[in-house]
C-alpha cells in the first residue's frame, strides 16, 4: 500500500488506516476477541500500518485488543489512541485535567503493550481546561518519551491554533466524507496553513455510503446510529439519492460505492488519511482496494457537479453530542 505523511510532522503511515472502534464499541455487540485480533493482523498483512483506538472504546477493551494484536509487530506500525473523558467513559463529561492526561497515558501504555504512544489525541476539547495546559501536559509526556506526536479530535480553529502554538499538532481527527463536508469551510485551510495532517473518521458515513443501508434499516440498542438523526427512516429515505449517485459513478469505474467514497477523500489532499472500520475481512479488503482507485480531475468534477444536486437530510449528531464538537 502507498504511504502518506501526516502534514509536516514526518509521521508516515499507510494511505488508509484501520479504525478499530467498531470491534468493541459503537455498532452493536463486540466482536469475539480472537476474531478481532485476527482481523487487525490481517489488516497489517495487507499493508495497513496505522491503527486507531481510544480508552473510551469499551471503555478500555479496544486498547487491550489492539495492544495484543499488534504486540508481535509493534515496531512496524503506528498506534493512535485518545484521552479526554471522565473515567474513559464517553457518556460522561470531558476531562482533560493534566493529572488525568498523565494517568491515561500510563494506563494506555500498559493496555497497548508498548513503551511509547505514537499519536495521542485529545478526544474532545474540554471547555474547563485551557488548551495551553492540555498541550503543555502532552509536551511534557513527549519530553518523557511516552508520546511521539500530539493530535486533536473534532476541535475548532481556535483550539487548533492555540494548541499548535504550544506543541505542534501532528493530526486532527474529525468526521469528513461525501455526506459530511463541513471541514472544507474552515478546518482544511487551517490544517494546510499549519502543516497538520487530517484523519477522517466515519469516511463511509457510518456505513451509509456503502449502499448497504436502506430506509427500512433498524439498529440495535448498542448501535450508536440508533440515536443519530441522519439515520432516522425519513432521513435515510431522503439521502438515498446520494447512494444511488455513488452507485452510478462506481459502476462506471468498475469499483464499489465504498471505494469511490474513500478514493474521493484521498484525492482531496495528499495529507488526508481516512480510517474506515469494519468487522469483516471482505469489507477490509474492499476498503483497502480504494487506495488503488484513481479519480481524474474530470471524475472529481463530475462527482462535484452531481453532489451539488443532492440535498443531505438530518444532523450527524443529536444535539447533546453536537455541542461537544468544533470548540
**Strand order of the sheet with strand 50-52?**
18-19, 50-52, 78-83, 117-122, 147-153, 169-175, 197-201
**Could you give the CA distance from residue 15 to residue 132 in angstroms, rounded to a whole number?**
31
Measure the CA dihedral 105/111/112/116, to 10°: 30
**Could you give the CA distance from residue 247 to residue 257 in angstroms, rounded to a whole number?**
6
Task: Supply the Cα-derived Rg of the chain in whole angstroms.
Answer: 19
Residue 180 DSSP class? B
**Catalytic residue (one of 25, 44, 57, 176):** 57
**Could you give the CA distance from residue 40 to residue 50 in angstroms, rounded to a whole number?**
10
Size of the chain in residues: 327
Name which of 171, 233, 172, 240 is nearest 205 in CA terms: 240
Q: Is 57 a catalytic residue?
A: yes
Is residue 314 within a helix (H) or strand (E), and if so which, with residue range?
none
C-alpha cell of residue 108: 494506555
β-pair type (169-175, 78-83):
unpaired
Catalytic sites, residue numbers: 57
Amino acid at each position: 500500500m502507498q504511504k502518506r505523511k501526516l502534514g509536516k510532522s514526518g509521521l508516515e503511515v499507510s494511505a488508509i488506516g484501520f479504525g478499530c472502534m467498531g470491534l468493541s464499541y459503537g455498532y452493536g455487540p463486540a466482536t469475539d476477541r480472537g476474531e478481532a485480533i485476527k482481523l487487525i493482523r490481517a489488516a497489517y498483512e495487507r499493508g495497513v500500518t496505522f491503527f486507531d483506538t481510544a480508552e473510551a472504546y469499551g471503555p478500555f477493551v479496544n486498547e487491550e485488543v489492539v495492544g495484543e494484536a499488534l504486540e508481535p509487530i509493534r515496531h512496524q506500525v503506528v498506534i493512535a489512541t485518545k484521552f479526554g473523558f471522565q473515567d474513559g467513559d464517553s457518556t460522561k463529561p470531558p476531562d482533560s485535567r493534566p493529572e488525568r492526561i498523565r494517568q491515561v497515558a500510563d494506563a494506555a501504555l500498559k493496555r497497548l503493550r508498548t513503551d511509547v504512544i505514537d499519536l495521542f489525541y485529545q478526544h474532545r476539547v474540554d471547555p474547563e481546561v485551557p488548551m495551553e495546559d492540555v498541550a503543555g501536559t502532552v509536551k511534557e509526556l513527549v519530553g518523557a518519551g511516552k508520546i511521539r506526536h500530539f493530535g486533536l479530535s473534532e476541535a475548532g480553529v481556535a483550539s487548533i491554533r492555540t494548541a499548535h502554538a504550544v506543541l505542534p499538532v501532528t493530526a486532527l481527527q474529525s468526521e469528513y466524507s461525501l455526506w459530511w463536508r463541513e471541514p472544507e469551510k474552515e478546518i482544511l485551510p487551517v490544517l494546510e496553513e499549519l502543516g497538520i495532517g487530517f484523519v477522517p473518521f466515519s469516511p463511509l458515513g457510518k456505513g451509509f455510503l456503502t449502499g448497504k443501508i436502506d430506509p427500512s434499516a433498524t439498529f440495535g440498542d448498542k448501535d450508536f446510529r440508533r440515536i443519530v438523526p441522519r439515520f432516522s427512516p425519513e432521513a435515510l429515505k431522503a439521502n438515498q439519492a446520494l447512494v444511488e449517485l455513488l452507485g452510478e459513478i462506481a459502476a462506471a469505474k468498475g469499483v464499489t460505492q465504498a471505494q469511490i467514497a474513500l478514493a474521493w477523500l484521498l484525492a482531496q489532499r495528499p495529507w488526508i488519511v481516512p480510517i474506515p472500520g469494519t468487522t469483516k475481512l471482505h469489507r477490509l479488503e474492499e476498503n483497502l482496494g480504494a487506495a488503488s482507485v484513481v479519480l481524474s480531475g474530470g471524475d472529481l468534477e463530475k462527482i462535484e457537479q452531481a453532489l451539488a444536486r443532492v440535498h443531505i437530510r438530518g444532523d450527524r449528531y443529536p444535539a447533546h453530542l453536537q455541542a461537544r464538537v468544533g470548540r
